[in-house]
Amino acid sequence: MRSARLTPAGAGDASARLAQAMPLRARLAEVGRFMVRPGFLAQPLAWRSGGAQALAAAGAVHMVLAVLVMAPLWLWGGDSGLLPSPVRQDTGVAASLFSFVVVAPLTEELLFRGWLGGRVAALRFAAYGALALGLMLAGVTIAPEWSRPLALAGAGVALVGVVHWGLTRQRDTRVPAWFIAHFTAIVWATTLAFGLVHLGNYTAIGHPVGVLVVLPQILGGVLLAYIRTRAGLTAAIGYHAAYNALFLGLSLAGPATP
């Protein structure tokens, strides 16, 4: 027997309102509100009754941000010398395509946003993922001489997490009240972590302003959280893959890195 969901008063009413069809202008405004104060939704919207519209609205906002924020940042960064440069990797197009368009979207969405539905089994999987990521990052930043063993240990922890999630996802479906109450802070914390992880794509930061190099990933991360909670995990993975594919193509002619 499945556990009952724990939801604070009014949360169900808010979810019902969000699930209703709304004009595109209102959906765009919802995206903007989510970027400032992410709001919990127990289940993604049905594709025809709002999910597709939510995905389109997030994509439209992303394009506007690309013009107003991301492009000027990249142009200014290249001229100012304050932002670190992308790390050039000597990999073929096929390997880069597989890494950026398949591996990165799948693993990053599962790790940073796959559990935003708040179910206990998914939150447990997120804990495994955080431990795995910590081990891998430790091998890069703290103990480079142990990078390979720590990477293998991280991969092993992640595998155990996947197995544990698979065995309990049908049983542990409760959403804790604390998760809903702190959803805004949780989304922003994981979004900032998502952005900072991408500092590994760049050379060492030589100026405090250099951290702005991952602002595009932070903005994209909160939009992906919106897509995940409104349109579903598959939609978030697909959007992430399309975004990375676009920037992989652009990187062949310029310095942009996904």
Q: What is the pLDDT of residues 84-132, one digit of tens each?
A: 777 777 677 788 888 889 999 998 998 899 999 999 999 999 999 889 8
End-to-end CA distance of the chain: 44
Q: Which of 232, 224, 228, 222 is nearest to 48 (CA)?
A: 232
Other residues' Cβ atoms within 10 Å of the Cβ of residue 130: 16
Written as six digits, the tokens of 12 are 């169900």
Mean pLDDT, residues 26-31: 94
Collapsing DSSP to helix, strand or coil, 258 comes out as: coil
- What pLDDT, in 10s, does the model give residues 200-238? 778 877 777 778 888 889 999 999 999 999 999 999 999
pTM confidence score: 0.84
Provide the 8-state DSSP code for 202: B
**Spatial distance between the Cα atoms of 109 and 231, rounded to a whole number of angstroms:** 13
Collapsing DSSP to helix, strand or coil, 99 comes out as: helix
Mark out the alpha helices in 171-214 (DSSP H runs). Answer: 177-181, 183-197
**Spatial distance between the Cα atoms of 215 and 230, rounded to a whole number of angstroms:** 23
Other residues' Cβ atoms within 10 Å of the Cβ of residue 244: 23
Of 25-34, 143-152, 232-241, minimum mean pLDDT range? 143-152
Q: Dihedral angle at the C-alpha atoms of 207, 210, 212, 213, nearest 10 degrees?
A: 180
